[in-house]
Amino acid sequence: MVTSVTSFSRTGLSDWLIQRVTSIILLAYFLLIAYQLMGSVDYTSWARLFEQTWMKVFTLMAALSLAAHSWIGLWSVFTDYLTERMLGPKGNVIRLVCQLGASLALVGYVIWVVVIIWS
């Protein structure tokens, strides 16, 4: 259970639920984006869409969902494959470095979205 200190919410049950909720938010968001991109899209209508408050909020929700969803997903992958049994004595160090890198990238993604949407 030592590895669970790096999981998203510390408990598997809670991670499980967060993974489902965020997946539905992301699915809805990507369906909306795919719908918008169907046919020709021009700058004016695209920019007008992202000027609306609900779209800014929805985009931020999607970004936060992406961060949580990726954290949980990557944690599952890392703790399965980047282990001492798979990689030898350096396994735990490699896993923690990857988790740190992924976490920083995800925080960066969220900040980037905030900058894009509110500037």
Partner 1 sequence: MLTAGHVNFSVLGADRQALTNCNRLSAQLYCAPMRFWHRPDLPAVNETNLRAIVRPTSKDTRPVNLDLGTIQLPVTAYASIAHRVTGVLMFFASFLLLWALDRSLASEASFDALSEVLSSPFAKVVMWGVASALTYHALAGVKHLVMDTGVGETMRGGVIGARIVFSAAFTAAILWGVAIW
Q: Which SS3 state, helix, strand or coil, does residue 42 take?
A: coil
**Angle at 77 (CA atoms; ends 81, 82), nearest 5 degrees:** 30
Tokens 């735990």 locate to 92
Site string for partner 1, 1-30 (x = CB under 8 A): -------------------x--xx--x--x
| Candidate segments 3-11, 89-97, 105-113, binder of partner 1 by CB under 8 A | 105-113
* Contact residue for partner 1 among 15, 66, 68, 75 (CB under 8 A): 66
Give the C-alpha distances (Å, rounded to integers) separating 111 from 23, 52, 67: 20, 19, 11
Residues that bind partner 1 (CB under 8 A): 20, 23-24, 27, 30, 43, 46-47, 50, 66, 70, 73-74, 76-77, 85, 102, 105, 109, 112-113, 116
